[in-house]
Amino acid sequence: MLALGSLGLLSCAAANTSAQQLNATIHLLPDASRVIVDGSSPPASVWSFLDSYASVVGLANRIERFTLFDEGGNEIQVRKIAPGHFDSPKPAARFRYEVSLKPPAFAMDSAMVSWLNQERGVLMLADLLPLSLGRKTGGSSAIVRFTLPEQWRVYSSEIEKTQNEFDVRDVNQAVFAVGARLRASQISESGMLFSLVTDGDWAFADREALELAGKVLKANREVFGAMPATQGNLILFPFPQAVGPSQWSAETRKSTVTLLMGKLPSKIGALAQLSTPVTHEFFHLWVPNGLALSGDYDWFYEGFTIYQAAQLRYGSAC
């Protein structure tokens, strides 16, 4: 059993919060594939966590040892209503809990939810932080800090205020790459600073992956006439599970593309494999992430993206 430590952990979270802002510290425990989260928020008596995302269900079952405290640091009684759903007899302003982050059983789900192993991990705040404060209907902001094992680093397109501390504008969209041997490289394309964050050995060089990214960004810029953001990230990791060399899974949140790939031994084959999700997912930086539409337009987003990605891959739009 893991020791949660004393209430001193809570001192890392600021006592004063804005009306819709959380302050949270995420402590990484890679050897156990879990994190400890402690922090503060506007007082609340009902707390819930994301239970499903896309095809992944049961996410709330990962929340363990959920504890609440009042402003004075005194523990408040908590009732577990259902997995990931809690209430208390009086409002609480501070919280502490653990999240089990073993990689999903189905490898293709690993690009869509948080996971952590002894080498690296992908952390998505949407399934790590409470859904309180109306985040079911709209994004909320947060100040998020990470405490990392020695030699581990964290990368994100979120604003880094100080080392390992980030000003997150929309918790639903924030993605962080963590690991002991991460490397990052950048290009500037049409005013957008774009970073490749990766780990492990690939058949291609990082420079070649960035060159491909730059070409796709430039082609999409010519279609839309503008870049979707001033900076973006491609997180390129191996799967945390054993998969075939031709497998890949990807998702785009705001200006971050998370891509997990198997490893083909041929450079030509590996770059061809990389080009498929890159052309598709990079288009999502514009559609729908760069649009301000309300309503269910998933059929349009995916259809248009598939069409444009095919145009780019076969050269007619380049």
134 or 146: which carries more pLDDT confidence?
A: 146
Residue ranges per structural domain of the chain: 13-179, 183-313
pLDDT in tens, 191-225: 999 999 999 999 999 999 999 999 999 998 998 89
Helix 206-224 × helix 298-313 angle, to 10°: 120
For domain 183-313, give its CATH number from 2.70.98.60, 3.65.10.10, 3.40.50.300, 1.10.390.10: 1.10.390.10
Q: Quick one: average pLDDT of 43-52?
A: 94
- pLDDT of res. 18: 44
pLDDT beyond 70 at 160:
yes
As a whole number, mean pLDDT of residues 17-27 equals 75
* Residue 65 dihedral angles phi and psi, to the nearest 5°: 55, 45
Contacts made by residues 303-307, CB under 8 angstroms, sequence distance 24+: 305/280, 306/280
Burial 126-149 (b: 16+ CB within 10 A, else e): bbbbbbbbebeeebbbbbbbbebe
Mean pLDDT of 17-29: 79
Tally of CA atoms within 13 A in the half-sphere of 86 that contains its CB: 27
**Highest CATH level, class, for 13-179:** mainly beta
pLDDT one-digit tens code per residue, 86-134: 999 999 999 999 999 999 999 999 999 999 999 999 999 999 999 865 4
Question: What value does the mean pLDDT take over residues 171-177?
Answer: 96
Global pTM? 0.85
How far apart CA 43 and CA 69 sit, in angstroms, is: 10
Q: What does the CA dihedral 99, 100, 103, 106 come to, rounded to 10 degrees?
A: -90
Structure tokens at 295: 């309503």
Mean pLDDT of 269-296: 79
- Say whether 9 sits in a helix, a strand or coil: helix
pLDDT digits (tens, 9 = 90+) for 256-281: 999 999 999 999 999 999 999 999 99
Where is average pLDDT lowest: 238-242, 244-248, 304-308? Answer: 304-308
Q: What is the pLDDT of residue 3?
A: 38
**Residue 309 pLDDT > 60:** no
Domains 13-179 and 183-313 equal at CATH topology level = no
